Amino acid sequence: MIYFDNAATTPLDEIAIDALRKYGVENFYNPSALYKEALENSRVLNAARENVLKILHGNGDFVFTASGTEADNMAIYGAKKTKKSRIIVSAGEHSAMLNPATDLLNKGYDVKFAPLNSDGSLNFDEFKKLLNPDVSFVSVMHVNNETGAVNDLSRLVKTVKSVAPDALVHSDGVQALMKVRVNLINTGVDLYSVSAHKVHAPRGVGGLYIKKGVRINPLILGGGQEKGMRSATENLAGIVAFSEVLTKYDKNFARDAETRKELLSCLRNAFINEMPEHVVLSPENSPHILMVALKGVRGEVVLHALEEYGILIGVGSACSSKKGINKFQSLLNLDDEHKEGIIRISVSETNTLAECAFFIEKLKECTAKLTEYKRI
Amino acid sequence: MEKVILIRFSEIFLKGGNRKFFEKRLIDNIKESLKDFEYKFSQSQNRYVISDYDEDSEGEIIEKLKKVFGIHSVSAAAKVKTDFETIRKTALTFFDDTPLSFRVTVRRADKRVDIPSPVMAGEIGGDILEAYPGTKVNLSKFDKELYVDIRENGFTYLFTDKIACAGGMPVGTAGKALCLLSGGIDSPVAAYMMAKRGLQIDAVHFHSMPYTSEQAKEKVINLAKIVSGYAGRIKLYVVPFTEIQESIHKFCPPEYMITIMRRFMMRISERLALKINAGAIVTGESLGQVASQTMQSMTVTNKVVEHLPVFRPLVGFDKEEIIAVSKKIDAFDTSILPYQDCCTIFLPKNPVIRPKPELIERAEKTLDIEKLISDALNNVEIIDLNP
């Protein structure tokens, strides 16, 4: 099996499994209980929180959630805003941000969707036109989940605050974590979402960074865990697994990033030199994703054809592919020959150049055959 | 007092000399649908009685029975010895302080009980009025009707609701048919409707990996499972269709793509049907809905079926009417999941609307029809689905 869909999810690292066992079976106690085992677990929980904050270089708090989606929802719904104020989210956001934003729009909020460049990054010039002093909330993802384009968060924060000093700036960092260097203090973002399962840690764990001094409302009320910001019995085993995986991958960051870069440029060069009919959409700075619009074939059909050879790729966000459309079809101004042919290859440090070569070979075979049978 | 469920069946099918055959099948189907429960089954005049079940399961049992074709209605009833005092006491348990209007209907099959029915009804009604002053009697416009059914076997059943069930004929009494299941809205409805007329249903689906996905197949499996809630066990035959579609695409004019594809489906379906002893083919076609469902298209696709009738129960239905049934049987939400099926994947821009048989046949001459069909049939995957 060749797995090129690492932006969808990743397999668990062994150390995550050890942590799940340790805090799921051995020290399983509820961190909010009153005996000393529980108290010890609450210390472990807070140590994990400190560790995540340290790795993100954040100054503030980190609230564990059950997913990146929940963290995004918490950010946009929890941020204080009046109906008169303006909310800006980029048009390329994950559904976890786009759908809540659309919900607020339907509820009467002034919500604007900022246009993208053709590589999936934020179009800053267009974005600036939407800014005004009444802006209360801005969300632009750090690394685009479809193309891998990296947005400059420092520039984003400075641009927003120069016009609307009180606006909260949120960034969805789900595809950025452990893919690009994240330094939240330097960027100055107020809120930042991450998810564990994209980095070899378990599903069901995510979190929202909240900069010191920033106040938002909780989304989930109940027993008051996470200082009242996110009620529910803490998923200690998952949280510790997340924290330990982060420590491990943070240490190997430079080496792994280099590996991914090498794999991506191998793939990119193959498209540019050997299959120039297809359009590579991802920009050079994409850390782990290569999005390509294939000519004359449907992306999903290619996906299934490659499946027969044990190669797994995506056609864009797995979270929106259930709806059968890729939002980038319309966002990136593709011509008719290419707009149905979007595929997303996302690599991890465990992939190899040999796998890339095999993929290229099979992709050529599939597209040659499928082009012959395209819709008439 | 004992809780029982009374089952009344549609009597129309009992008029012929085949009553025993129909009844046996109906009882078998009821027992099959209740296989996960413990209960006692008994027959009394023109009805069946489910007793000795776990009272917590009553709702679930009734939901299952509502889907068994041939059952007209069911009631959750109290069963007591035919003793007037006991009946009067039990009648009170069906009421409480809620203010409402009611009537009491007594049916006295057991003529050994010598109190006339209207007198009994009056007495019971009087008891209720006295116990619950908020209630009042209204014989023509009432919120609740209490039935007191005095049977000849020495027992009396009391109940207030007759829950309407699926009606129709017991599945299997009309034989077996093979239904083409695409994954859309129409075909599960067609399968449901023919099962309602007593046909046992098996299904065939044409699958075109890699043009269609595993999810598309999974969707068809789920739809077949939904239909099996009514039709009982369904065998789903998944026929690999890629090679046939590719060949048509390669050798035939694009505007004939759909027509020729449909002809292949019908040929394969008939052969499969004959092999599994099905006596008919069922499709979800509705006249004029799409280009392949015009009268001329149906003529051309029907032409390759040589031995069996093709039932098209939806032929005169509007889309809205089909959707209403689809929602009723809980298939709609599954049907509208947006996975490509093999019909849309090769859809030409301008499919022929009124195909001429001789032109289609000429176009087909370029294909090795027999080989394509036998290759497909040799690689059929069979999936067994139970409700």
Q: Would you call A301 and B211 a contact, using CB atoms and an 8 Å cutoff?
A: yes
Note whether residue B170 is domain-resident: no
Considering only the beta carbons, identify the residue of B210, B348, B349 that sits closest to A308.
B210
Chain-wide mean pLDDT for chain A? 93
Name A307's Cβ contacts closer than 8 Å, sequence gap at least 6. Answer: B210
Q: Would you call A376 and B257 a contact, using CB atoms and an 8 Å cutoff?
A: yes
- What percentage of chain A exceeds 90 in pLDDT? 87
Question: What is the domain-level CATH number for residue B262?
Answer: 3.40.50.620
Measured in angstroms, the CA of B312 and the nearest CA of chain A are apart by: 29
Measured in angstroms, the CA of B350 and the nearest CA of chain A are apart by: 9
Measured in angstroms, the CA of A342 and the nearest CA of chain B are apart by: 15
Q: Would you call A376 and B254 a contact, using CB atoms and an 8 Å cutoff?
A: yes
Per DSSP, the residues of A175-216 read: TTTTTS---HHHH--SEEEEESGGGTS-TT-EEEEEETT--B
Note whether residue B379 is domain-resident: yes
Residue A325: per-residue pLDDT: 47
pLDDT tens readout for residues A91-110:
999 999 999 999 999 999 99
Cβ-based contacts of A307 with chain B (< 8 Å): 210
Cβ-based contacts of A370 with chain B (< 8 Å): 210
Cβ-based contacts of A300 with chain B (< 8 Å): 213, 340
Per DSSP, the residues of A79-105 read: B---TTSEEEEETT--HHHHHHHHHHH
Lookup: tokens for A247: 């420590």
Q: Does B338 touch chain A if contact means CB atoms closer than 8 Å? A: yes
CATH 3.40.640.10 positions along chain A are 14-251
Name A297's Cβ contacts closer than 8 Å, sequence gap at least 6. Answer: A340, A341, A366, A367, A370, A371, A374
Find the mean pLDDT for residues A142-161: 97
Q: Indicate the residue among B134, B164, B194 that finishes a domain.
A: B164
CATH 3.90.1150.10 positions along chain A are 2-9+253-362
Q: Are strands B136-137 and B199-207 parallel, antiparallel or unpaired?
A: unpaired
Assess whether B140 and B221 both reside in one domain: no
Q: Would you call B346 and A372 a contact, using CB atoms and an 8 Å cutoff?
A: no
Q: Would you call B210 and A323 a contact, using CB atoms and an 8 Å cutoff?
A: no
- A319 catalytic per annotation: yes
Note whether residue B169 is domain-resident: no
Assess whether B263 and B318 both reside in one domain: yes
| Structural domain count, chain B | 2
Chain A to chain B Cβ contacts (< 8 Å): 42
Tell whether domain A2-9+253-362 is in CATH 3.20.20.70: no
Using the predicted structure, report yes or no on whether residue A85 has a pLDDT greater than 80: yes
Q: Could you tell me which of A144, A146, A124, A118 has the C-alpha nearest to residue A334?
A: A118
Measured in angstroms, the CA of B184 and the nearest CA of chain A are apart by: 15
Assess whether B206 and B111 both reside in one domain: no
Q: Does B339 touch chain A if contact means CB atoms closer than 8 Å? A: yes
Considering only the beta carbons, identify the residue of A300, A308, A376 that sits closest to B213.
A300
Find the mean pLDDT for residues A46-56: 97
pLDDT tens readout for residues B239-276:
999 999 999 988 988 888 889 999 999 999 999 999 99
Q: How confident is the model at residue A322 (pLDDT cuts 50, 70, 90)?
A: very low
pLDDT tens readout for residues B170-213:
999 999 999 999 989 999 999 999 999 999 999 999 998 888 88
pLDDT tens readout for residues A308-321:
999 999 986 554 44
Q: Does B251 touch chain A if contact means CB atoms closer than 8 Å? A: no
Interface mutation target, options B214, B215, B219, chain A, most CBs of A under 10 Å:
B215
Using the predicted structure, report yes or no on whether residue A324 has a pLDDT greater than 60: no
Q: How confident is the model at residue A323 (pLDDT cuts 50, 70, 90)?
A: very low
Assess whether B380 and B271 both reside in one domain: yes
Assess whether B235 and B367 both reside in one domain: yes
Amino acid identity, position A147: T
Q: Does B167 touch chain A if contact means CB atoms closer than 8 Å? A: no
Q: Indicate the residue among B164, B197, B221 that finishes a domain.
A: B164
Q: Would you call B246 and A323 a contact, using CB atoms and an 8 Å cutoff?
A: no
Cβ–Cβ under 8 Å, residues B180 and B284: yes
Lookup: tokens for B321: 């009417």
Note whether residue B67 is domain-resident: yes
pLDDT tens across the length of chain B (387 residues): 899 999 998 766 566 677 888 889 999 999 999 999 999 999 877 889 999 999 999 999 999 999 999 999 999 999 999 999 999 999 999 999 899 999 999 999 888 888 999 999 999 999 999 999 999 999 999 999 999 999 988 999 999 989 999 999 999 999 999 999 998 999 999 999 999 999 999 999 999 888 888 888 999 999 999 999 999 999 999 999 999 999 998 898 888 888 999 999 999 999 999 999 999 999 999 998 877 788 998 999 999 999 999 999 999 999 999 999 999 999 999 998 877 665 566 667 778 888 888 899 999 999 999 999 999 999 999 999 987
Considering only the beta carbons, identify the residue of B214, B338, B345 that sits closest to A324.
B338
> So what CATH class is A14-251?
alpha beta
Asked casually if ipTM beats, i.e. exceeds, 0.90, the reply is no
Assess whether B112 and B43 both reside in one domain: yes
Assess whether B112 and B220 both reside in one domain: no
- Residues 257-276 on B with a CB inside 8 Å of A are 257
Assess whether B132 and B184 both reside in one domain: no
Assess whether B274 and B359 both reside in one domain: yes
Q: Would you call B212 and A304 a contact, using CB atoms and an 8 Å cutoff?
A: yes
Domain of residue B34, residue span: 2-164
Nearest CA in chain B to A307: B210
Q: Would you call B338 and A308 a contact, using CB atoms and an 8 Å cutoff?
A: no
pLDDT tens readout for residues B31-57:
999 999 999 999 877 889 999 999 999
Assess whether B156 and B284 both reside in one domain: no
Assess whether B324 and B300 both reside in one domain: yes
Considering only the beta carbons, identify the residue of A301, A323, A375 that sits closest to B210.
A301
Within 13 A of B62's CA, how many CA atoms are on the CB side? 18
Question: What is the domain-level CATH number for residue B36?
Answer: 3.30.2130.30
Pick from A26-35, A40-49, A332-341, B185-194: least confident? A332-341
Annotated catalytic residue within A266, A319, A356, A366? A319
